[in-house]
A and B are shown apart, each in its own frame.
Chain A
């Protein structure tokens, strides 16, 4: 009897406390609660975190930025200023076209966007670069298919706050805001936190391995483009900027140089025009003010790129047309 009594009372009390904690922290901003004045509630790794933000946000986003970590530092406020739209940065680490297609379907479930900015990494179309495991561990994977895969069924207690994820995210929100221990902290609208400048531009993630355009990924992009056409969404495709040293090292290999051209041509075939930031126009920007490392631009440089695309500044990049 003692067991039953302690089991029952513990269950009731612990459930009340746990659920109460989640509701108070309100990690997905569903209830508008923020009694502790937390600076950010977006503290998970990007795919899961941003999926939840997009899923639950009350804002009516009309523009989305998609890309890998190289697109993390495009600030939505800058895009909003340049376009007059309300934007969200859906970029995630190691994103490949699988992510872009799944994100597109996920976005269209709730929003009616007018603009997509897609940032493509050279390695993102390489067949030898595998899809990030985190993609398959995230709910985004369910959106790769036209009809989302329902391998996860939701029960009659359908409530995103009655989940372990919500509990974990609540604890992370507290951890990050009170102790500042997050590896990656995202702000509202998918923006990345502002960091101190790097000391040098290190060559990072340089892959000299075999390169082959992945036709499956090409088919995903064609599907994405066709969805965008159907929903009247303007797509701006761009190649993710590489530091000049990274680019020159890459082009010093004739094979990789050709691969780079094939990569751009593949994108041109699909999108008709692309903004290319993987060329010599990047040369004058070889400074830590512009690059955190050889394939991650700073917030300032990301803003410059946006201004260049929308005709508000001179600078790097060339608009390639088919």
Chain B
């Protein structure tokens, strides 16, 4: 069930929370964990119960495999076990996520007509697979001690992070669970949890969903876009995605705080970055860390020689993998490769120790992100090119009618005068200004978590914002990252 639903907020979360603390209060620690695993599996099944066996199978297989790492009698070598584990996890992901994409490309390349599998992507498969791959590799490296099946299941299924992260390592989460202090109700954490959850809800319901309404027609419905419409579309989507995913992460972190568990931060004001290198240290931080640790570093190590050039090749490859991890489609590949190449340019520039003025550096970085997001959002390359063509003005320039006669000469240059602005247009301009302000000046939840003093005034603010969100939640829109 989505975090932004009445059912989650008013029924599931309070019941799960009460059950967890009551059982811990009665010293039924194992039962409390079991309760949480059960609740998380129910949370997962709420979307589609048919996906549950796959999740359970994946948990069982990975747990069984990693248990062998700690077994004194080793029938199979550790490295072979690791390979089996990797093949299993990547195979599962590949089959469900990339099966049809591979068939489609095969048909296109060899003029065949192989029937697609028409598989529905199991929810959260990209996230719970990555999390388990990390666990597998860490166990192979001897970084994880032997754990019980219940603990492992808790780690994988913990509902705040099950579907869209943040991707968390076992060694980060589980020691917190074992801490006896964390089994008691902690009002400070509940306060922080409610606050972060509200911040996330505001981002999702009031900002992201609003931008989503402006982004959708340009990408999905309109045949062509004039210059302003195309920029409106792309900027709306960039902000939609940012507020959607960072809002989701805030809600996940907030929900976890209610259980006295701290999840890692996933966003650190990425849209104020002044370089692409900085952007990737601020955007989807836990994925970047995973890619760096488990993809980029092994690629670099596998190179015959480690120098600047080979590191850059590894960067492009890692970003390619990051791109395709997001989805099975050429648009995601283009997105990943563009970011890989962008990072290379950024590294070369950095190496030459040339500095751009801050505002220019931000402007270039932001626009690069904004343009590449078009590929991230568009359903195929054709739709992406439609938006990009519009952004470059190839499909005309239409300015709103403003009643100013002096702009009439623009018609001579092919500029068309459209209709007067609608109130919704003013509303959108206001939202864009607000969003630019927020990404530059607003404190992100990472800072708020550390610095803000949660007093009555903040409580009143959150209460009012929460009521607006209650009214906005009647239209439940899915989180964008649920599709990945």
Contact = CB atoms under 8 A, between A and B. Distances in A.
A8 B463 contact: yes
Nearest to B187: A1
Interface stretch (A111-119, A160-168, A294-302): A160-168
Contact of B467 (A15, A141, A158): A15
A250 interface: no
Q: Is the interface of B mostly helix, strand, loop or mixed?
A: helix
Interface stretch (B89-97, B146-154, B289-297, B451-459): B451-459
B194 interface: yes
Contacts of A18: 467, 471
A45 B422 contact: yes
B6 A141 contact: no
Interface in B454-482: 454-460, 462-464, 466-468, 470-477
Contacts of B424: 45, 134, 137
Contacts, number: 112
B222 interface: yes
Nearest to A48: B424
A196 interface: no
Given A14-B463, A15-B467, A156-B6, A2 B187 contact: no
B474 A2 contact: no
A133 B470 CA distance: 27
Contact of B475 (A130, A136, A163): A163
A159 B459 contact: no
Contacts of A166: 471
A156 B1 CA distance: 12
A117 B194 CA distance: 54
Contacts of A94: 419
Nearest to A158: B474
A156 B467 contact: no
A133 B217 contact: yes
B445 to A, nearest CB: 16
Interface residues of B, number: 44
Nearest to B6: A157
Contact of A3 (B416, B459, B466, B477): B459
Contacts of B190: 4
Given A15-B467, A133-B229, A6 B459 contact: yes
Contacts of B423: 45, 183
B281 interface: no
B195 A3 contact: yes
Contacts of B194: 3-4, 7
A4 B191 contact: yes
A252 interface: no
Interface in A1-60: 1-11, 14-15, 18, 45
B426 to A, nearest CB: 11
A164 B229 contact: no
B464 A162 contact: no
B5 interface: yes
Contacts of A2: 455-456, 459
A295 to B, nearest CB: 13
Contact of B422 (A134, A151, A162): A134
Contacts of A157: 6, 474
A153 B462 contact: no
Contacts of B229: 133
Interface string A243-278: 000000000000000000000000000000000000
B463 A141 contact: no
Contacts of A5: 456, 459
B213 interface: yes
Interface of A: 1-11, 14-15, 18, 45, 94, 130-131, 133-134, 136-137, 141, 151-160, 162-164, 166-167, 183, 209
Interface of B: 5-7, 187, 190-191, 194-195, 198, 213-214, 216-217, 221-224, 229, 416, 419, 422-424, 454-460, 462-464, 466-468, 470-477
10 contacts: A3-B456, A5-B459, A6-B457, A6-B459, A6-B460, A94-B419, A134-B424, A136-B221, A141-B221, A162-B470
